[in-house]
Amino acid sequence: MIPVAKPLIGNREWELVADCIQSGWVSSQGKYIAEFERLFSAFCGVKYGVATCNGTTALHLALLALGIGSKDEVIVPTLTFIATANAVRYVGASPVFVDSDPNTWCMDVGKIEKSLTQRTKAIIPVHLYGHPCDMDPIMEIVRKHHLWVIEDAAEAHGAEYKGRRVGGFGDISCFSFFGNKVITTGEGGICLTNDEELAQKMQRLRNQGMDIHKRYWHTDIGYNYRMTNIEAAIGVAQMEKIEEMIARKRNNAQLYSELLKNVEGVTLPVEEKWAKSIYWMYSVLIDENQPVSRDELILRLGKDGIETRPLFYPVHLQPPYIPNQYSLPVAEELSRRGISLPSSAALKKEQIEYIVQSLAKHLEE
């Protein structure tokens, strides 16, 4: 089976993990945590990094640090992994869902302002499937209405907007290092910020609210959201090859696009002129008038030994978030038609050729 995603783990990761085990620093203290925070924040051009146990806890920490709470509203895209909205609920706030841009599939910035109310406190743009959001108009809205911005960059390590890497536009940005991401720590996440006060607050909150200068003195009701030293060691090794993995994913996407450009019934992903996508997932749309449906195509590809994924289901249609007043037709259509093909940086040319041949064959039947 060709997996939809597979991490690239090599000798360097084994070497650093072994060093952790031999040192005895295997839990949430040790040299690799600070080193990973330093390396990743520098990669994104941001001053401070606060590593966490996963990407969802990173989002939760960001919302807590900014004081988002009960009766507040937060603007989120509906086409995203559900963790984006769940984290808003964790702090007692309400997610307000916005439809998708039909080209990038990210939040449609032209529909944000009409979703704002007196209760709106923040916007969470999601750099979906590795393509950055159009950040300039978002930042204009934020300045105009005095809102916070939390970038959900879980899927976009190294993606660029107008020559700047994502993660440094908002007040806080959040990344995931789950096993299917560009780099992985197994599980794991991180919050990035240029604000020292916010960084220190998140450091306290991830460690049960403990004062960073006074051990066992707790200034807040906090959480156990810490990354382990073993996870961070894997991350340090992964950072040594992050540029290579991004280049591989972009090269694979280019090959996919070249091979698929003449396959009838398939709409390819867009890379806007102001963007550098890292193609976390190479995802396409299947026309609805094809001989096979998207869901049937997924089953047939699976029988050919090719693992795929449907696009995310819009959050506003999922049981925890209904009933609601939303009709968000672009996101609903994208979700209905979208399929993510194998996207690992480890993919070989002949595997991509086989995947495209299999997809084309089933669309012609």
CA-based nearest residue to 85, from 310, 280, 322, 339: 322
| 3-class secondary structure, 325 | coil
Q: Which residues contact 163 (CB under 8 A, 6 or more apart)?
A: none
Tell me: the pLDDT tens digits for 288-306?
A: 998 899 999 999 999 999 9
Residue pair 35/157 in contact (Cβ under 8 Å)? The answer is no
> Model confidence over 158-194: pLDDT tens digits?
999 999 999 999 999 999 999 999 999 999 999 999 9
Q: What residues pair up with 202 in beta bridges, in sequence order?
A: none
Classify domain 242-364 at the CATH class level: alpha beta
Q: How far apart are CA 111 and CA 100, in angstroms?
A: 9
Angle made by CA atoms 297, 156, 11, in degrees to the nearest 5: 90
Residue type, 290: Q
With a CB cutoff of 8 Å and minimum separation 6, the contacts of 219 are 204, 209, 210, 211
- For the segment 210-215, the average pLDDT, to the nearest whole number, is 92
Strand duo 94-98 + 73-77: pairing: parallel
Considering only the top CATH level, what class is 11-98+105-239?
Answer: alpha beta
Q: Are 224 and 51 in contact (CB under 8 A)?
A: no
CA angle at residue 341 from 7 to 236, to 5 degrees?
20
Q: What is the pLDDT of residue 181?
A: 98
Interatomic CA distance for residues 84 and 99, integer angstroms: 15
Residue 129 neighbours by CB distance under 10 Å: 26
**Per residue in 68-107, pLDDT tens?**
999 999 999 999 999 999 999 999 999 999 999 999 999 9
- The Cα 9–Cα 177 span in angstroms is 13
- Is the pLDDT at 365 greater than 80? The verdict is no
Domain boundaries, the chain: 11-98+105-239, 242-364
Round to whole Å and give the CA distance between 126 and 104: 11
Name 200's Cβ contacts closer than 8 Å, sequence gap at least 6. 212
Q: Give the pLDDT of residue 326.
A: 81
pLDDT at 323: 84
Nearest to residue 256, comparing CAs of 335, 360, 169?
Answer: 360
| Residue indicated by tokens 């978030």 | 321
Helix (H) or strand (E) run with residue 111 in it: none
- What DSSP designation does 195 have? -
